[in-house]
Amino acid sequence: MDDMDFPTPDASVESVTASELKARVDAGEAVTLLDSRMQSDYEEWRIDGDTVESINVPYFEFLDEEIDEDVLARIPDDRGVTVLCAKGGASEFVAGALKDRGYEVDHLEEGMNGWARIYEAVEVERYEGSGTLLQYQRPSSGCLGYLVYDDGEAAVIDPLRAFTERYLDDAAELGVDLKYAIDTHVHADHVSGIRELVEKGVEGVVPAASVDRGITYADEMTLAEDGDEFRVGDVTIETVYTPGHTSGMTSYLIDGELLATGDGLFIESVARPDLEEGDEGAEDAARQLYESLQDRVLALPDDTLIGGAHFSDAAVPAEDGTYTAPIGELREKMAALSMEEDEFVELILSDMPPRPANHEEIIATNLGQQETDDDEAFELELGPNNCAASRDSLADD
């Protein structure tokens, strides 16, 4: 809808940046959003929060000079409202139409695309290994990544292509060299930045077990086998093979303190097993996932932190603001981790969410089998990630 030419509003409309809106939400301010995208887009993906009131009225309801009174009645006139759309064009038009009618409004600059460019780094305070560990958070899609640095060196785990320069800039600001860029698996919900970082001189690391899926650039990468170790200053990053979500799914144990589990285990759910082999291969993958969780992940000490590659709206951050939790805590609150194998498999196959949007194109891009420019890559990964099994049935009541 933002490719349309909208009339310039008579009233001057102020804009708010995505970062400013995020700061208001984080501060617990009451925020009222008028989302002017189509209902299907709104229902799939929107901005939420405990103090956020979100109203969906598609932009076309405001195109007529005489706006229907029933439409206006849905929009609060006793407080400020922020209008948003996909890219910022429709929202400015809608906000102007409302301001002409006396409403207190502004609009979200760049719309949901701007929201998708928010990427925050939060220190994992409970990490007690060598060096410092940061968790990158992308609130628009729940993507998580990790940067560990010590003694002039750093490694990033699960980098996003959209933020390639961010990792390099952060390393420079911290006074460290970005030594490694590490992927946990072939992602289905976002485009990896590992090849772009390799082009910048960073050593790329991918699981050796993922090469069989058809990665075209394996000869440009270091292939990580189970048990391999990578050093960043005095930090040891150990490779832990944990298949299930994909056949090549690999976790990385950072200095014995935090297991970066990719899409194998999240703090509120476990992986979905159907994105590589489809429905017909999901049961075998689910059994493989069960074995990985029981024998490789839950076998670690209870105080080992888990940090996945995603978080959902159901995830509750720790006191330090990161989406991390000790294994022992997850074992207590997540019923799926205490089940017998057959019960586990039946549960996670029983209520699978929709597959990530554009997942086939994203996988092909991440395998190097499809060329996708930066703008196309950014558009492909907009929306929810949906890489977990249904969260409603996995936690204890």
d(Cα 277, Cα 246) in Å, to the nearest integer? 8
Q: What is the 3-state secondary structure (H, E, C) of the chain?
A: CCCCCCCCCCCCCCEECHHHHHHHHHCCCCEEEEECCCHHHHHHCCCCCCCEEEEECCHHHHCCCCCCHHHHHCCCCCCCEEEECCCCHHHHHHHHHHHCCCCCEEEECCHHHHHCCCCEEEECCCCCCCCEEEEEEECCCCEEEEEEEECCEEEEECCEHHHHHHHHHHHHHHCCEEEEEECCCCCCCCCECHHHHHHCCCEEEEEHHHHHHCCCCHHHCEEECCCCEEEECCEEEEEEECCCCCCCCEEEEECCCEEEEECCECCCCEECCCCCCHHHHHHHHHHHHHHHHHHHHCCCCCCCEEEECECCCCCCCCCCCCCCEEHHHHHHHEHHHHCCHHHHHHHHHHCCCCCCCCHHHHHHHHHCCCCCCHHHHHHHCCCCCCCECCCCCCECC
Largest CA distance in the chain: 68
Q: Can you give the length of the chain in residues?
A: 397
Can you read off the two tokens belonging to residue 24? 């208001």
Which of 141, 133, 147, 176 lies closest to 162 in space, CA to CA?
141
Q: Active-site residues: which are they? A: 85
